[in-house]
Chain A
Amino acid sequence: MLRLLDIEFFKLRNTKYFWVLMGLFILFLFAMPIGFRVLLNYLTSIGENMMGWDIPANQMPFYDFVDIWQNLTWSYMNFSILLGFIMVISINNEYTYGTIKQNVIDGLSRSELLWSKLGFIMILSLVISVATFFVGLIFGFLYSPTQGWHYISLHLEFLPAYFLHLVVFQLFCLVISMLIKRPGITISILVFYIFVIEPIASVLLFYKYKLELLANILPMKAISNIVPMPWTKYAFKETQTTLALDDALIMGVWAVLLYLIARWILLKRDLA
């Protein structure tokens, strides 16, 4: 497995797009919590209150231990698309330049090829989840009124949830790239699907046809539902602040399904 990871990381670390997209991702990793603080301070300075309540905006417990994990991971999920792009470009280049074929000719089995990609996805997701933990710790120490391991450890489960989200999302991008093979088209289709098709389908299914279950198993929704949207609780509305078993289950089914599709494509389809 180490050999496979070494091969995949070698391929990626020698490309520009990998560092540009990773650089952007890391930038957002820090810019998001800093920027949010700046925004809250600005809102307070112009006399805004927290979501219409009589509390200054910068008192919003965004960075509080307990809350911070769900807040951070949910916010970061919006940047997963950058990692998805890395996967799309990498897979599509391998097909376009015939290097996937040459790798196999040179002696990589198709299974090894798949696992070099999957292994890399997992390691990258793990590194990002751990980095998220440290970012959370830093901002929590700076701004959280509650301190101490007890508060820190509450709801840490959002980190493994975020890890799973990253893995399954990248796996989704991997499968789409394998199906479409062409980089420009894949990225357009992916962006169009994520930001236009699925939101519309989701709204239609949910509100028009009242098919809540179906709306929840659409891939993007399923992959993101694992960390529920936290903001509504600051308006004192009912908000899910724990992991839900059924969300995890749906995502697990997607993970298995996507893995099987990727495996089927790679093993059954001619690479030539």
Chain B
Amino acid sequence: MKVLQIDKLHKDYGKLTAVHQLNLSIKAGTVFGLLGPNGSGKSTTLGMILGVTNPTSGSFKWFGERGNHKHRKRIGAILEKPNFYPTFSAVKNLQIVCKIKEVSTDRIDEMLTLVGLIERKNDSFKTYSLGMKQRLAIAAALLADPEVLILDEPTNGLDPKGISEIRQLIIDIAQSGKTIILASHLLDEVQKVCTEFAILQRGNKIYQGKVEDGFGDEAIVEMASRDLETLQLIIQNHPAYISERWLKDKLEVKFTLNTDMAELNKYCAEKGVYLTHLSEIKKSLEQQFMEILSENA
């Protein structure tokens, strides 16, 4: 089932185009990363699908229907920074969220425990550290047990400990089967928590795919045997072979995508070469991310 379907969504700010004819569809249960440098249109896109930014043109559907405020009650979302009433306690802030979403206040304590704020629950929001504010925002987003969770740069401004806590929280939530849309300029973050992702640059979607596939269209394999020269010779005849290069004591070979490692091992053995090392390596996503951005610059 498609949770979100975006059709030719477009936003202009005067002469500046923030989001350009964006198409995107997100299936239920996906942890979807929206990746792009600052100012690439991620937040504008989220703002539009959450009803706070008016699209110039285009449309979007939540749960198969034209998006409106009723759908937003089934979504938990934080945009950019945590927005709360500064003089209210955590509990009072969450009570307002419950009133808006029309759900009972039963889960407030549970959520505050989950994000580790239960002991500060009656302190006013303005006394919280940035990390605590961010965690309260996540508690608020989870409060109504939403089907979809939208997080915009959830680790922005946090210290390393805070970052890892939030990421673990996201991974835990994802395992409960919720759909998550995560916007981030940090590739590493997307790689660690997402299953699928799209890259935005200057409002254009320039790539979409699964995280496990990397961005490339080739598999990179490190191989070694007692006799590297023979290995090099036989490997060049493999049907999926693309190219190879020497590393210090092993070969780095490029094959077409989805080459089976077991099959590769068997192939070498049949040719009389026994491998001492076989490892499929993912090309650094960071490196590829930069490549994609520069290709489209």
Chain A positions near chain B (C-beta within 8 angstroms): 3, 6-7, 10-11, 14-16, 93, 97-99, 101-110, 112, 268-272
Contact = CB atoms under 8 A, between A and B. Distances in A.
Given A6-B99, A7-B96, A109-B68, A102 B47 contact: no
Given A14-B92, A97-B86, A271 B70 contact: no
B101 interface: yes
A213 B201 CA distance: 57
Given A112-B69, A270-B52, A271-B52, A106 B85 contact: no
Given A102-B83, A270-B47, A108 B100 contact: yes
Interface string B64-98: 00001110110101110101111110001001110
B53 A104 contact: no
> Which label, helix, strand, loop or mixed, suits the secondary structure of the A interface?
helix
A272 B53 contact: yes
Given A11-B85, A98-B81, A270-B52, A107 B101 contact: yes
Given A107-B69, A107-B72, 18 more contacts: A7-B96, A10-B95, A10-B99, A11-B96, A101-B83, A104-B50, A105-B52, A105-B72, A105-B77, A106-B100, A107-B73, A107-B101, A269-B54, A270-B47, A270-B53, A272-B44, A272-B52, A272-B53
Contacts of B75: 107
A101 B52 contact: yes
A271 B53 contact: yes
Interface in B28-68: 43-44, 47, 50-54, 68
Contacts of A108: 69, 100
A13 to B, nearest CB: 10
A3 B53 contact: no
A97 B85 contact: yes
A222 to B, nearest CB: 32
B119 interface: no
- Most central of A7, A106, A272 by chain B CB within 10 Å: A106
Contacts of B101: 106-107
B212 interface: no
Nearest to A103: B100
10 contacts: A10-B95, A10-B99, A103-B100, A105-B51, A107-B69, A108-B100, A269-B54, A270-B52, A270-B53, A272-B44
